[in-house]
Chain A
Amino acid sequence: MATGVLVVAEQRNGAIRKVSWEVLSEGKRLADQLGEELVAVLMGGDGISSHAEALGQWGAKRVFVAEAPELADYRTNPYARVVVQVAKQLEPRIILMGASSTGKDLAPRVAARLGVGMLSDCVGFELRDGVLVGRRPMYAGKLYAYVACKAVPQMATLRPNVFPKIEPDPFMKAEVVKVEVQFEESDLRTKVIELREEAGGRPDLTEAEIIVSGGRGMKGPENFAMLETLADLLGGTVGASRAAVDAGWRPQSDQVGQTGKVVTPNLYIACGISGSIQHLAGMGTSKVIVAINKDPDAPIFQKADYGVVDDLFKVVPPLIEEVRKLKAE
């Protein structure tokens, strides 16, 4: 009988990605509720097994490690082969991954190979007689659905930045199980040429705790420099509305909204963004929302916890100074 929760840990350049701790934390909560085991699978190039211990401290009782040069960079098919092999050996009740660029690519491929449906981008879970029910946004968050998995293994991906992390226990130790995997030529048809880092050291929008975002009211690309200053002071990142992206002021990867990224930071500061329905859908679940806009009727104020009705060019510079003072305290 299927039992246990299998979490697919994610790494880039040999470092575990933050979303993996969130997925492990939720995996542990579900495993504890079921009274079953939490297991992790970790894939990477030479030396990746050194992280297995850390995964144990986050609650994994066993860590399956596949270490091979073919797994150094994320690629769909080599990774799918490992996960499917481990899933067939373990027969878990539940398989969880992050809804990251990796998990969103890998999970549906694995689900199709296992012949089961899956729930994408969940923001909450409950167990009903062992059946996993996920709460997930649709229409970029204009609607939430409670969806049950009717086939086993029950698979889901978890939206980054939503699930609270547990405290790792330094005394917990996992059993490390080495995975021997044989790749076929068909697994290796894609070749990773390079990984380009483009965010200038700032966190990605989907992972950022704080986002300072600008819209049409920014008037031009040069004015985003002050948003970057504020974001850097706060340890956050910069986002943009579709208007700012379509005007060519910001790269497409900065776009927040229904045809951009859906974000859930602790703090979202919207500067000169009126708040189209598509934009509000993309940032409406941020924990705290600040809107700075000179138009008191802008729809963004209906979502804002704190609204400043004024010219952003007069508010943002003193705000930077105030934050600098607070950070210096």
Chain B
Amino acid sequence: MEIVALMKQVPDTETQIKVNPQGTWIIEDDIKWIMNPYCEFGVEEALRTKEKHGGTVTIVSIGPARAVEAIRTALAMGADKAIHVDDPALVGTTDSLGKARILAKILQSIPFDIIFAGKQAIDDDMAQVGPAVAELLGIPQLTFVNGLEWIDGRTVRVNRQVEGGSQVIECSLPVLITCQKGLNEPRYASLPGIMKAKKKPLETKNLAALGLDPAQVGKEGDTTEILRVELPPPRKPGKIVDGETPEEKAAKLAKLLREEAKVI
């Protein structure tokens, strides 16, 4: 089976975000970069799919040179090979559609049966690339998947998380699945895995090599534009509810919530 995992490198969740003096973007110095946690579920599910059905796991990732570190991590987890897209025309792009067009172009040039992606990247939180890639490839998508079982070698049954429950959906391959927490527990890369990863094929391509026009998929072709960024407004200072006993504090809190905050 030909299995693909789309993967993005993002700032660690511990990162304290800082804004540049112009207010146009964040300061990226001192950021620790990691594999997007939701992409990790995708890579893990790709590896489990290979363990069950055999085949090849290919990682596809867009990003600057630093993204290679996250790609090597995916290879160390057990993926077989990787395609990395890096191009100066992509610096500062904000458009999910442009990225989806690049990924779709690659996927049109390689065989695939099933594609895994994160439900969203935890940096821009757009949650668009997976569905947009599926659309451009003309295949179904199953999003926010937190459970997956194989009915047979060509059909999956998934749990798709929805408000207050889940949708159980069946679909035959080819399909694109976006992964939610709960789907699996991603493995750690083993030391032999890390050694082997260094020798696995990793191809870096620019837009020209993919036959893509920077005016369509690069910064220039963006159909959305970030005008300004800011930190969330600080909350007004709160008050400590005091009292001699826990009962007194509880009574005071209930009164404040009813009479001052008017929320209960």
Contacts and interface: CB of A to CB of B under 8 A. Distances in A.
Contacts of A74: 167
A243 interface: no
A25 interface: no
Contacts of B264: 210, 234, 267, 323, 326
A3 interface: no
B contact residues, range: 35 or more
Interface string A197-226: 111001110110010000000000000000
Given A190-B140, A307-B238, A197 B165 contact: yes
B163 interface: yes
Interface in B167-219: 167-172, 180-182
A170 to B, nearest CB: 28
A204 B228 contact: no
Given A138-B124, A140-B122, A146 B224 contact: no
B95 to A, nearest CB: 5
Interface of A: 12, 17, 73-77, 80, 100-102, 104-105, 107-109, 111-113, 115-121, 133, 136-151, 186, 189-199, 202-204, 206-207, 210, 234, 251-253, 255, 258-260, 266-267, 277-278, 284-285, 287-290, 301, 303-311, 314-316, 318-319, 321-323, 326
Interface in B243-264: 246-247, 249-251, 253-258, 261, 263-264
Top-7 shortest CB links A-B = A117-B223, A322-B254, A204-B163, A314-B246, A108-B128, A318-B250, A199-B164
Contacts, number: 267
Give the interface SS of chain B, mostly helix, strand, loop or mixed: mixed
Contact of A105 (B26, B97, B131, B182): B131
B250 A186 contact: no
B63 interface: no
B239 A113 contact: no
Interface string B152-171: 00000101111111111111
Given A116-B97, A118-B224, A289-B238, A111 B128 contact: yes
B108 interface: no
Nearest to A190: B171
14 contacts: A74-B167, A109-B131, A109-B141, A117-B224, A118-B97, A148-B224, A150-B222, A150-B225, A186-B138, A190-B170, A196-B165, A290-B253, A306-B253, A319-B253
Which has the most chain B C-beta neighbours within 10 Å: A189, A190, A287?
A190
Which has the most chain A C-beta neighbours within 10 Å: B126, B157, B226?
B126
Interface in B141-157: 141-144, 146, 157
A197 B225 contact: no
Given A74-B167, A101-B162, A143-B230, A108 B127 contact: yes
